[in-house]
């Protein structure tokens, strides 16, 4: 398994650099178009460059903080969560890896995710429902799965992609509102050319938002879940623990889940949208970053 794992890690790092590069190009193009609209193309590119640098630093160094904040997670204390700490510390010692920071999401819906940029700067968040529903072997399987994502640098790719995609979506929304609510009146002296540039910028940014949303989904490969499952099973020596945990977690997802944030779905061990109404569920499965849970369980039990 070592060759595929190291190959996967190298591929994740390449994809991360590609995302940064593509993000820079898209920002430069957007800045240039908006600069043409205000008759200051150089200023537009410079402002876009500054924003790119800021968001790159935030996504790389502070991405885990953004993710935990969006998820409504709070730091777990050793005094209140000794069971969780003991489990994670034991697995970290066995793996020879740093103990990740631990977070709790106060909801009865069981689930978990990992985020960060590398094994030294990573977090694992679990819900209260996960701790209440799983036995020790099942919890070890889930934690081992999340630690596999950390070791494989899946979390770097997923965290960076989520923050950058969210930035593009926000900029797209802001620019559309700016043009729709008065922005188009600010450059009447340029006549039809300004209106055309405004239209181009709106179309460009309107396309960028869903493009980055899809890029996020495709960048986070479904194969990463199979690899993390296999790594966790190999690490704990008990595939049934994770298989049983996946059964419990997938069966307990609910409609209108408090953890079902579209931007974060790809991070969770089980897609929170599985508990959505049937039409939404079918669409979620079609475009999901996760393979079917039943297939994951089948593979684990065949080991």
Residues involved in catalysis: 146
Of 50, 24, 48, give the one whose Cα is nearest residue 34.
48
Backbone φ and ψ for 17, nearest 5 degrees, come out as -65, -35
| Phi-psi region at 290: left, alpha or beta (left = phi > 0; alpha = psi -120 to 50) | beta
Tokens standing for 171?
A: 């900029």
Nearest-5° Cα angle at 77, 71 to 78: 135
Residues contacting residue 210 through CB under 8 Å, at least 6 positions apart: none
| Distance separating alpha carbons of residues 235 and 224, to the nearest angstrom | 16
Backbone φ and ψ for 277, nearest 5 degrees, come out as -60, 160
| Distance separating alpha carbons of residues 60 and 28, to the nearest angstrom | 20
Maximal C-alpha separation, the chain: 72
Contact 245, 138 (CB under 8 A): yes
Strand pairing report for 101-105 and 112-118: unpaired
Of 116, 114, 215, 223, give the one whose Cα is nearest residue 164.
215
Give Cα separations from 234 to 120, 187, 193, 270 (angstroms).
22, 63, 62, 20
């Amino acid at each position: 398994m070592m060759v595929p794992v190291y190959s996967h890690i190298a591929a994740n790092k390449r994809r991360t650099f590609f995302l940064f590069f593509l993000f820079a190009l898209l920002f430069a193009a957007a800045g240039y178009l908006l600069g043409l609209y205000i008759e200051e193309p150089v200023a537009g590119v410079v402002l876009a460059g500054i924003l790119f640098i800021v968001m790159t630093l935030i996504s790389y160094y502070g991405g885990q903080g953004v993710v935990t904040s969006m998820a409504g997670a709070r730091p777990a204390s050793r005094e209140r969560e000794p069971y969780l700490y003991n489990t994670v510390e034991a697995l970290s010692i066995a793996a020879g890896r740093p103990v990740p920071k631990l977070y709790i999401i106060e909801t009865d819906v069981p689930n978990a995710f990992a985020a960060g940029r590398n094994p030294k700067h990573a977090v694992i968040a679990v819900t209260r429902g996960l701790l209440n529903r799983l036995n020790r072997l099942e919890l070890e399987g889930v934690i081992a799965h999340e630690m596999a994502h950390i070791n494989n640098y899946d979390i770097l790719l997923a965290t960076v992609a989520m923050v950058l995609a969210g930035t593009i979506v926000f900029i797209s929304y802001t620019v559309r509102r700016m043009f729709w609510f008065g922005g188009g009146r600010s450059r009447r002296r340029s006549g039809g050319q300004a209106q055309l540039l405004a239209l181009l910028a709106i179309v460009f940014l309107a396309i960028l938002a869903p493009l980055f949303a899809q890029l996020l989904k495709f960048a986070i490969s479904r194969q990463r879940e199979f690899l993390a499952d296999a790594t966790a099973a190999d690490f704990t020596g008990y595939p049934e623990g994770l298989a049983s945990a996946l059964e419990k977690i997938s069966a307990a997802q609910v409609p209108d889940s408090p953890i079902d944030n579209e931007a974060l779905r790809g991070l969770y061990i089980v897609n929170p949208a599985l508990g959505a109404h049937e039409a939404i569920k079918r669409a979620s499965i079609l475009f999901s970053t996760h393979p079917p849970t039943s297939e994951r369980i089948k593979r684990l039990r065949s080991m």
